[in-house]
Structure formats: C-alpha cells, structure tokens
Amino acid sequence: MNRAFFKSGVAAFVALGLAMPALAQRDPAYEAARENGSIGEKPDGYLGIVSGGDGQLQKLVSDINLKRKQVYTNRASAEGSTVEQFAFTAGCNTISRTRPGEKYQAPDGSWKTRDGGAPVRDARCP
C-alpha cells in the first residue's frame, strides 16, 4: 500500500463524516458492549468480539460489520482503491479515535485497552 492511497483514504474516510461510528453509537447495546470491553476495533476496519459474545452480540457485530463493508465498498469504488485498502485505512483511523478504556486489536492480534497514550497501530497506518 502506498502513501498516496493512504492520504486519499484518510480524506475519504473523513468525508464520510464518520457516519459509521455515529450510526452505531445510537444503539445502546453497541455503546454498552464498547464500554464493558466485549467488542473492540480491529486493524482491518471491522469490529471484533473481545470476549463472551452471546447470539445478540454476535448479531450486533455482524450487522455493523456488514454496514461498514457496504460503505467501504462504495467509497473504495469511488476512490479507485480496493475494499481491503479502504477498510485498512478506516481501521487505522478508527483505532486512533478509540477512547481510554475502549478495546482495540494491536497489529500482533492481541486485544489492548486504550489508556491515555496513543494506541499501538500498524506501522503502515498513515
């Protein structure tokens, strides 16, 4: 992945108005799962289940991930990139915006809890 793509991907993601997280945050179950550490952001741009995960939580995560993929697909096409490239850039940005206490997946696959410092992100992140 090249730097030019990342710059355009970042601009495109910002152009989305951060709609995906905003839409998901309207769901109290999503907010509760983020706050209790059941779900977290992954470097690939999708949500992951950190621990537990009954059928309702799995459905919630699947639904949000399907919506994200739709957005990534549309935006990638408009930007002339692949869905995977766009999703990766979105994942970098979403992890950057996690708040202290929220979970995210580090590049090595381990789940981390965001503290007051910067999250551990993939070296390829813009």
Helix, strand or coil, per DSSP, at residue 112: strand
pLDDT value for 27: 83
* pTM (predicted TM-score): 0.79
Residue-wise DSSP of 44-70:
TSSEEE-S---HHHHHHHHHHHHHHHH
Tell me what the pLDDT averaged over the chain comes to.
84
Domain range list for the chain: 3-113
Q: What is the pLDDT of residues 29-75, one digit of tens each?
A: 899 999 999 999 999 999 999 987 789 999 999 999 999 999 999 99
**98-103 contacts at long range (C-beta below 8 A, 24 or more positions apart):** 98/40, 98/41, 101/35, 101/37, 102/34, 102/35, 102/37, 102/40, 102/41, 103/34, 103/37, 103/39, 103/40, 103/41, 103/50
Structure tokens at 69: 């993929």
Name, of 8-17, 23-32, 86-95, the range with top average pLDDT. Answer: 86-95
pLDDT in the model for residue 45: 97
